[in-house]
Amino acid sequence: MMDLSERNERLFFKLLIDNVEELLPVVYTPTVGEACQKYGSIFRRPHGLYISLKERGKVLDVLKNWPEKNVQIIVVTDGERILGLGDLGLQGMGIPIGKLALYVALGGLRPSLCLPVSIDVGTNNQKLLDDPYYIGLRQKRTTGEEYDALIHEFMLAAKQEYGEKVLIQFEDFANHNAFKLLAKYGRTHLVFNDDIQGTAAVALAGLVASLPLTGGTLADHRFLFLGAGEAGTGIAEIIATEISRKANIPLEEARRKIWLVDSKGLVVKSRWDSLQHFKRDYAHEHEECKTLLSAVQALKPTVLIGTSGQGSTFTKDVIETISSFNEKPLIFALSNPTSQSECTADQAYTWCKGKCIFASGSPFGPVTVDGKTYYSGQANNAYIFPGMGLGCIIAGVIRIHDDMFLKAAEALASLVTKEHLDKGLVYPPFQNIRKISAHIGAAVAAKAYELGLATRLPRPDDLLACAESCQYSPVYRPYR
């Protein structure tokens, strides 16, 4: 696929669009994870822009080396937390490349607008440092002032070179930098963090879409997360916001329906002093539970969400326990790639005897248990970010607001039909993703206009038609 994209970009995108369900797992999770792990030995051509510590003071010049001048979307990583695979250093470049291929194929953005960036501040992955084919700097990760200064230079240079409306997507940064960068640049740049906000929106969409199957409202659910990092706390916060608005209760009260388990056990008040700031809103009064199983037994959640980056952590005991007190437990194993999924679709459906509603971050095919076939949706931020980018571009958005992610989630949930639900699917199939992205783009753009964050005036009357008409199609021009 990489060879094809080099030789004939239009054909690459045509093939991807026409065979999206088959090829998504190649260009994206799970194969992209393996590609990053082996990136040094399979490297042929750059495909994106590499910015290293050595280029401090010259980042703008480096950007000017990129052949396209009208860049509107940048996906940037520093490679420290690539999917659930950990620190892959500069080889994390596969992720921005994969994500941007989806901006084009799933969202309909022009390839020339897209810039993948990998920032090289070293790696703490000793295996890579010892690997003769490693493509990055052979040093431990720099942190603190030197790190901040390089990122800051990049952020300023991107805005200077491509203007105020270049959308910068932070991807697969480690927790400590992810929250910091989002807070730091959210007010001065058009930025979002896909792992915090994109994943949150896609999870919320699946939960909202599943309500006709479980009955009741979101506020009637009790949520337990394994994993309290970017994805876990991002999803928790969007759920709490949605519940607080829909049930008209204070955010604090909505948050109390949500519990997190991290590597040390249940996040509770008594752990407050040692908790990272992003977990503290979910540190409720409860005795300590050291394991996920004991937390499931104690809290009796209706929804179990895995965002731990740790494979095989939803064990048989855990799944059997949650299905012992739920008619239809919701089980979302969101970690990527497949090897890091908290459980497989097969395990979930087998262990709960077909009772659960299952979705996962990486794709699983249909599963047959006791002669009955079960399907599972792919709860992946790939449903959200391409539409988010499309919406930003058609409306000339200058800042991202959390409400735009809420709208994106609602738009996605609204496209789940009875036919999908009858199959146990809480997401629409990827086959229709370009239409889905156009709907999300229109919803995002509408919200941006409402919030005064859209600069393209006058506002198009029909934003959906506008989004669809702007989508890139990889067709050949007729020659005579």
Ligand X SMILES: O=C([O-])CC(=O)C(=O)O
Calpha distance 228→264 (Å, rounded): 11
Options 28, 39, 374, 449, the catalytic residue = 28
| Amino acid in the structure at residue 442 | A
476 a catalytic residue: no
242 sits near Mg ion (criterion: CB under 5 A): no
Calpha distance 420→377 (Å, rounded): 10
Residue 361 binding result from Mg ion, ligand X, none, given CB thresholds of 5 to 8 Å by partner type: ligand X
Query: Which of 172, 237, 242, 342 touches Mg ion (CB under 5 A)?
Result: 172
Residues 287-346 touching ligand X, rule: CB under 6 A, are 336
Residues 171-190 touching ligand X, rule: CB under 6 A, are 172
Which CB sits closer to Mg ion, 60 or 174?
174
Residue 242 binding result from ligand X, Mg ion, none, given CB thresholds of 5 to 8 Å by partner type: none
Which CB sits closer to Mg ion, 157 or 236?
236
Residue 380 binding result from Mg ion, ligand X, none, given CB thresholds of 5 to 8 Å by partner type: ligand X
- C-beta of 69: minimal distance to ligand X in Å? 28
381 sits near ligand X (criterion: CB under 6 A): yes
Options 50, 54, 58, 99, the catalytic residue = 99
The site that binds ligand X (CB under 6 A) totals a number of residues, namely 9
- C-beta of 465: minimal distance to ligand X in Å? 30
The site that binds Mg ion (CB under 5 A) totals a number of residues, namely 2
The window from 51-59, 136-144, 167-175, 341-349 that contacts Mg ion (CB under 5 A) reads: 167-175
Which CB sits closer to Mg ion, 182 or 467?
182
83 sits near ligand X (criterion: CB under 6 A): yes
Which CB sits closer to ligand X, 31 or 471?
31
- C-beta of 193: minimal distance to ligand X in Å? 10
Which CB sits closer to ligand X, 174 or 421?
174
28 a catalytic residue: yes
The window from 49-57, 195-203, 288-296, 472-480 that contacts Mg ion (CB under 5 A) reads: 195-203
Which CB sits closer to Mg ion, 125 or 193?
193
Residue 343 binding result from ligand X, Mg ion, none, given CB thresholds of 5 to 8 Å by partner type: none
195 sits near ligand X (criterion: CB under 6 A): yes
Task: Provide the mask over 134-173, with x wherever binding to ligand X is found by CB under 6 A and - wherever it is not.
Answer: --------------------------------------x-
Which CB sits closer to ligand X, 161 or 194?
194
Calpha distance 62→43 (Å, rounded): 20
- C-beta of 362: minimal distance to Mg ion in Å? 12
Beta strands 167-170 and 114-120 are unpaired
Task: Provide the mask over 86-125, with x wherever binding to ligand X is found by CB under 6 A and - wherever it is not.
Answer: ----------------------------------------
3-state secondary structure the chain: CHHHHHHCHHHHHHHHHHCHHHHHHHHCCCHHHHHHHCHHHHCCCCCCEEEEHHHCCCHHHHHHCCCCCCCCEEEEECCCCCCCCCCCHHHHHHHHHHHHHHHHHHHCCCHHHEEEEEEECCCCCHHHHCCCCCCCCCCCCCCHHHHHHHHHHHHHHHHHHHCCCCEEEECCCCHHHHHHHHHHHCCCCCEEEHHHHHHHHHHHHHHHHCHHHHCCCHHHCCEEEECCCHHHHHHHHHHHHHHHHHCCCCHHHHHCCEEEEECCEECEHHHHHHCCHHHHHHCECCCCCCCHHHHHHHHCCCEEEECCCCCCCCCHHHHHHHHHCCCCCEEEECCCCHHHCCCCHHHHHHHCCCCCEEEECCCCCCEEECCEEECCEECCHHHCHHHHHHHHHHHCECCCCHHHHHHHHHHHHHCCCHHHHHCCCCCCCHHHHHHHHHHHHHHHHHHHHHCCCECCCCCCCCHHHHHHHHCCCCCCCCCC
Calpha distance 199→360 (Å, rounded): 12
195 sits near Mg ion (criterion: CB under 5 A): yes
29 sits near ligand X (criterion: CB under 6 A): yes
Calpha distance 326→82 (Å, rounded): 34
Residues 241-270, buried b or exposed e (16+ Cβ, 10 A)?
A: bbbbeeeeeeeeebbebbbbbbeeebbbee
361 sits near ligand X (criterion: CB under 6 A): yes
- C-beta of 170: minimal distance to ligand X in Å? 11
Which CB sits closer to ligand X, 77 or 241?
77
User: Which residues are annotated as catalytic?
Assistant: 28, 99
**Rule CB under 5 A: which residues touch Mg ion?**
172, 195
**Chain positions contacting ligand X, by CB under 6 A:** 29, 83, 172, 194-195, 336, 361, 380-381
